[in-house]
Amino acid sequence: MAQAKTKSTKLAGIARYLAEHLSDSESTGSDPDNVGSDPESAGSDHDETNQRRVKELVANQRLAKDLTSNQRKALELVANQRLAKELVANQRRLLERVANQGRFLVMRMIMKIPIR
């Protein structure tokens, strides 16, 4: 679970970096990777590729969060199942004790032994 959280944190950092990089290049109108090239063809392809990668990273980050959330829920379910088994065992023991006490009282009443 710690590995998934670490991966999620790394993905979040990468996504932030790329989003900031894309927003900087879009706002200034320049792209440092395409200096001296045709801005109409190379720049737009590069931006589209980067935007697609950012979207993929954000989607992967969401999946990592969902995974950690689902793992946590699975652990809670396992813990709840263990508690339910313990509860059933405790109830069974309690019923056995009550039944034994009832038998003991009936036996004393039949034998007419005073109950203190």
Predicted confidence (pLDDT) per residue in 23-75, tens digit: 555 444 544 455 555 555 556 788 889 999 999 999 999 998 999 999 999 99
- Inside any domain, residue 60: yes
Residue 85's pLDDT is 96
How sure is the predictor about 2, in pLDDT bands with cuts at 50, 70 and 90? Answer: low
* Residue 7 belongs to some domain of the structure: yes
Q: What local confidence, expressed as pLDDT, does residue 40 receive? A: 54
pLDDT at position 53, please? 92
Q: Is residue 84 part of a domain?
A: yes
Find, among 89, 90, 92, the residue nearest to 100 by Cα.
92
Residue 116 falls inside a structural domain: no
Q: Specify the number of domains making up the chain.
A: 1
Structure confidence by residue, pLDDT tens digits, 87-116: 999 999 999 999 999 988 888 778 877 766
How far is Cα of residue 50 from the mean position of the Cα atoms in its chain? 28
- Phi, psi at residue 78, to the nearest 5°? -60, -45
Calculate mean pLDDT across residues 72-91. Answer: 95
**Is 115 part of any domain?**
no
- Can you give the C-alpha Rg of the chain in angstroms? 33
Q: Which residue range is the domain that position 7 belongs to?
A: 2-30+41-110
Query: Is 35 inside a domain boundary?
Result: no
* Position 22 confidence tier, pLDDT thresholds 50, 70, 90: low
